[in-house]
Amino acid sequence: MKAFLLSVHVLAAILAIGPVAVAASMFPATARVAHLAPDDPRKNAVPGVLNRITRVYAVIGIFVPVFGVATGAALGVLGDAWLIVSMVLTAVAAVLLAGLVLPGQQRVLGTGIPDRRLAMSTGLFNLLWAVVVVLMIVRPGSTTGAGR
Q: What is the pLDDT of residues 80-138, one digit of tens each?
A: 999 999 999 999 999 999 999 999 999 999 998 999 999 999 999 999 999 999 999 98
Q: Supply the range of the domain harboring residue 48.
A: 2-138
Q: What confidence tens digit (pLDDT) does each residue in 34-51 have?
A: 988 878 878 889 999 999
Is residue 6 in some structural domain?
Answer: yes
Is residue 145 in some structural domain?
Answer: no
Number of domains in the chain: 1
Handedness of CA 87, 93, 94, 99 (dihedral sign): positive
Is residue 95 in some structural domain?
Answer: yes
Question: Radius of gyration of the chain from Cα atoms?
Answer: 18
Is residue 76 in some structural domain?
Answer: yes
